[in-house]
Amino acid sequence: MRYIKCISIRQPWASLIIHGLQGRFKGVENRTWPSKHRGDLLIHASKKIDLVAMSDFGLTEESFFMPTGCIIGKVEMVDCSLTPSSTWHEPGKWGFYLKNPIAIDPVPYQGQLSMYDVDMDFLVEGKQSWHWEIEFDEATKKDDNESNI
């Protein structure tokens, strides 16, 4: 079996990472915990919506593509830092620095806390229209002893 890491993020943040808004993409995900993970990372849009953020951005569910309860894309996680170097990075939080967002057709999936493994065989089945490939090596195989730190 082949696995890829995934993280669940509330809307509209998940879509701002993958789809952006008016050409501006959210390139940092803020967390209270660090991660050693680098490389491909799936973005799962959780079922919960951050209504305050929706209001702050002037968004409505009708005006902004916002699927929930599904994997909506892939990014590359390039760094994890406590030192902000982006306006998206909240001081005092760990910033997961993300780049190269690629949208996929939403795939219904049960989210989880922290980073978790998703079976690639489940994802690629019947999804030949995806315009990305993930290179696998020994590091992408599930390791039950791996922690997020």
| 2-139-132-16 Cα dihedral, nearest 10 degrees | 110
| Residue length of the chain | 149
Domain that holds residue 18: 3-121
Q: Judge whether 70 lies within some domain.
A: yes
Total domain count, the chain: 1
The alpha helices in the chain, defined as continuous H runs, are 13-18, 51-57, 120-124
Per-residue pLDDT, 64 = 67
Q: Judge whether 66 lies within some domain.
A: yes
Per-residue pLDDT, 18 = 92
Q: Judge whether 13 lies within some domain.
A: yes
Q: Please state the pTM of the whole predicted model.
A: 0.79
Q: How far is the CA of 7 from the CAs of 23, 73, 95, 101, 114, in angstroms?
A: 23, 11, 13, 14, 7
**Going residue by residue through the chain (149 aa), what tens digit of pLDDT does each one get?**
688 899 999 998 999 999 887 667 899 999 999 999 999 999 999 998 888 888 887 877 776 668 889 999 999 999 999 998 888 999 999 999 999 999 888 888 788 888 998 877 766 654 544 444 444 333 333 333 333 33
**Close Cβ partners of 28 (under 8 Å, ≥ 6 residues apart):** 86, 88, 89, 95, 96, 97, 98
Angle formed at CA 26 by CA 25 and CA 32, multiple of 5 degrees: 170
CATH code of the domain containing 45? 2.30.130.30
